[in-house]
C-alpha cells in the first residue's frame, strides 16, 4: 500500500491538515502516524484552552492572519459539530503605571488586526467585568473564547476516519528514506510508504524534519514547560472569565493569567521554564542527551544570555509557590497561596534558530517530498484550521 500522504503527528495541526486535505480531495489516501496510544496527548491536550482573538500578533504576520481566519473557522466548526465553546471576552490589565504605554500599544495592534469592539475600559468597568481584579488601566477584548482543544482535535480525527483516512497510534517514526520518489517511513511497528510526508510532530518537528531532509539544520525546538495552578473550587468566584497581564515585551510568552476552562475550573498560569526533556511535564523529568543538545545549541546560548533575568524569575516561581502567588496577586490581590492547588503542566515547542532568535512566527517549509511545520506555538490551536488549510493547499499541489 503506497499512501499519497503520510502525516506525522496526531496533534491538532496534523489532524486539521488531514481533515482539510480529505475535505478537498476525498480520493487522496492518507495515513496519520502518531507515536502515542492516543491523539492530542502533548501540546494540544495540555494547553490553556483559549480561543485567541489575534490581539498580540504583528499585523500581516502568519500568526495574525492565521489566528483571525482560524478563529472564525474554529467557531463555525464548534457550532456545526456541537463542540461546547464560549465567547467569554477577556480583560488585559496593567497593574503598574509603567505598563500603560505597553497596554496602549497592544490596543493599537489589536485594532490594526481588525478587532472591532476591543477597547480601553475604565477601572469601574474593569470591576464590572472582574470584580476581584486590581489594575491601573485595562482593555477588554470581546472576541476571546474558551474551548477544550482535546475535544476539537478528536473531532478532526473522527472526520478523517469518516472520509476514509487512516490513523495509526503507537507508531513512532524512527527513520525516513526516499527512493524512486517514495518516502519509506520506518516506525516502531512497521514501514509506511508515502509519496509525500507532512511533518506535524510538534516538540519533535525539528528531529522529524531532519529525517526528511538532513540539510534542515538551522532550527532547534527548545521545550518550555508551562506550569499551572488551579483555584480551589470555593475560590473560583474570584475569576469570572479570563484575566491577562500586559505581556513583557522582552519575553515571548504572555505571562501568568487566569483562565476559566471550558472543561471546568479556573487555571492560573502557565509560567515558562526550560524543560529538561522535550516531553518533561515535571521538574524531575530529565533527558540528558536532549538537555545537552539544547544547551549546546548556539541559538539557545544567545537566548539564555538575552532572557536570563526573566528566565530566573520564572524558574524561581516554578520552585516557590509563594513567589507564583505573589505574581498572581498583582492581578487579584486577595488570592492566597492556600487558594491554589497543583494544576499540571504543558510543554511548548518553540523553534529557535542558530543565531539566537526564538522564531516569532509560524514556520512551514516545503521540499520535494515533504512539508515540515517547523514552528507552531500558540496560537496554533486557535489557528489550526487555517494552518491546516494552508498546508493542505501546499500538499495538494503535489497531486495536481
- Judged by the rule CB under 6 A, the positions of this chain that interact with ligand FAD are 8-14, 33-36, 40-44, 46-50, 52, 172-173, 200-204, 208, 226, 270, 346-348, 376-382
Cβ closest to ligand FAD, residue 11 vs residue 247: 11
Give the nearest distance from C-beta 363 to ligand FAD in angstroms.
Answer: 12
Cβ closest to ligand FAD, residue 6 vs residue 133: 6
Give the nearest distance from C-beta 305 to ligand FAD in angstroms.
Answer: 24
Give the relative orientation of helices 298-319 and 288-296 as an angle to the nearest 10 degrees.
Answer: 120
Give the nearest distance from C-beta 162 to ligand FAD in angstroms.
Answer: 20
Give the nearest distance from C-beta 390 to ligand FAD in angstroms.
Answer: 13
Backbone angles phi, psi at 93, to 5 degrees: -125, 125
Cβ closest to ligand FAD, residue 23 vs residue 172: 172
Give the nearest distance from C-beta 171 to ligand FAD in angstroms.
Answer: 6
Cβ closest to ligand FAD, residue 145 vs residue 299: 145
User: E strand or H helix at 57, and its extent?
Assistant: none
Alpha-carbon Rg for the chain, nearest whole angstrom, is 21
C-alpha cell at 274: 526550560
Write out the DSSP string of 240-285: SSEEEEPPPTTSSS---EEEE-TTSSEEEE---EE-SSTT--STT-
Give the nearest distance from C-beta 170 to ligand FAD in angstroms.
Answer: 9
Give the nearest distance from C-beta 227 to ligand FAD in angstroms.
Answer: 9
Cβ closest to ligand FAD, residue 14 vs residue 245: 14
Tally of CB atoms within 10 A around 264: 10
Write out the DSSP string of 67-108: HHHHHHHHHHHHHHHT--EEE--EEEEE-SGGGHHHHHHHHH
Give the nearest distance from C-beta 136 to ligand FAD in angstroms.
Answer: 26
Cβ closest to ligand FAD, residue 94 vs residue 256: 256
Q: Contact at 8 Å (CB) between 374 and 360?
A: no
Residue nearest to ligand FAD (CB): 11
Residue owning grid cell 518550555: 224
Of 340, 336, 314, 311, nearest to 326 by C-alpha is: 336
Cβ closest to ligand FAD, residue 187 vs residue 325: 187
Q: Contact at 8 Å (CB) between 260 and 146?
A: yes
Give the nearest distance from C-beta 345 to ligand FAD in angstroms.
Answer: 7
Cβ closest to ligand FAD, residue 49 vs residue 252: 49
Of 72, 106, 130, 103, nearest to 260 by C-alpha is: 130
Burial code (b: 16+ CB inside 10 Å, e: under 16) for 199-227 equals bbbbbbbbbbbbbbbeebeebbbbbbbbb
What does the alpha-carbon distance between residue 307 and residue 304 come to, in Å, rounded to a whole number?
Answer: 5
Cβ closest to ligand FAD, residue 32 vs residue 303: 32
- Going by DSSP bridges, is the β-strand pair 145-147/219-231 parallel, antiparallel, or unpaired? unpaired
Give the nearest distance from C-beta 199 to ligand FAD in angstroms.
Answer: 9
Q: Contact at 8 Å (CB) between 268 and 256?
A: yes
Cβ closest to ligand FAD, residue 28 vs residue 387: 387
Amino acid at each position: 500500500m503506497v499512501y499519497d500522504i503520510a502525516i506525522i503527528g496526531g496533534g491538532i495541526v496534523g489532524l486539521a491538515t488531514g481533515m482539510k486535505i480529505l475535505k478537498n480531495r476525498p480520493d487522496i489516501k492518507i495515513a496519520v502516524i502518531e507515536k502515542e496510544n492516543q491523539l492530542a496527548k502533548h501540546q494540544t491536550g495540555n494547553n490553556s484552552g483559549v480561543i485567541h482573538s489575534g490581539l498580540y500578533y504583528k499585523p500581516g504576520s502568519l500568526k495574525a492572519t492565521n489566528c483571525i481566519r482560524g478563529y472564525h473557522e474554529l467557531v463555525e466548526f464548534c457550532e456545526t459539530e456541537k463542540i461546547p465553546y464560549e465567547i467569554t471576552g477577556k480583560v488585559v490589565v496593567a497593574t503598574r503605571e509603567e505598563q500603560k504605554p505597553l497596554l496602549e500599544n497592544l490596543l493599537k495592534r489589536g485594532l490594526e488586526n481588525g478587532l472591532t469592539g476591543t477597547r480601553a475600559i475604565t477601572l469601574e468597568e474593569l470591576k464590572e467585568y472582574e470584580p476581584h481584579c486590581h489594575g491601573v488601566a485595562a482593555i477588554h477584548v470581546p472576541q476571546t473564547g474558551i474551548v477544550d482543544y482535546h475535544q476539537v482535535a478528536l473531532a478532526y480525527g473522527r472526520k478523517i476516519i469518516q472520509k476514509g483516512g487512516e490513523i495509526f497510534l503507537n507508531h513512532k517514526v524512527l527513520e525516513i528514506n526516499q527512493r524512486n520518489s517514495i518516502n519509506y517511513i520506518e516506525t516502531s511497528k512497521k514501514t509506511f510508504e508515502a509519496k509525500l510526508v507532512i511533518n506535524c510532530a510538534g516538540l519533535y518537528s525539528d528531529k522529524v524534519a531532519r529525517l526528511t531532509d538532513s540539510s534542515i539544520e538551522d532550527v532547534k525546538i527548545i521545550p518550555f514547560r508551562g506550569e499551572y495552578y488551579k483555584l480551589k473550587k470555593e475560590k473560583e468566584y474570584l475569576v469570572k472569565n479570563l484575566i491577562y497581564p500586559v505581556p513583557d515585551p522582552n519575553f515571548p510568552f504572555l505571562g501568568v493569567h487566569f483562565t476559566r476552562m471550558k472543561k471546568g475550573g479556573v487555571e492560573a498560569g502557565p509560567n515558562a521554564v526550560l524543560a529538561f526533556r522535550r516531553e518533561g511535564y515535571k521538574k524531575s523529568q530529565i533527558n540528558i542527551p536532549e538537555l545537552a543538545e539544547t544547551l549546546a545549541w548556539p541559538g539557545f546560548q544567545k537566548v539564555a544570555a538575552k532572557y536570563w533575568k526573566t528566565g530566573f524569575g520564572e524558574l524561581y516561581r516554578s520552585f516557590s509557590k509563594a513567589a507564583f502567588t505573589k505574581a498572581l496577586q498583582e492581578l487579584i490581590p486577595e488570592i492566597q497561596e492556600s487558594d491554589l492547588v497543583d494544576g499540571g503542566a504543558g510543554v511548548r515547542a518553540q523553534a529557535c534558530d542558530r543565531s539566537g532568535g526564538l522564531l516569532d512566527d509560524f514556520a512551514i517549509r516545503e521540499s520535494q517530498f515533504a512539508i515540515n511545520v517547523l514552528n507552531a506555538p500558540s496560537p496554533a490551536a486557535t489557528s489550526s484550521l487555517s494552518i491546516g488549510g494552508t498546508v493542505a493547499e501546499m500538499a495538494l499541489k503535489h497531486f495536481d
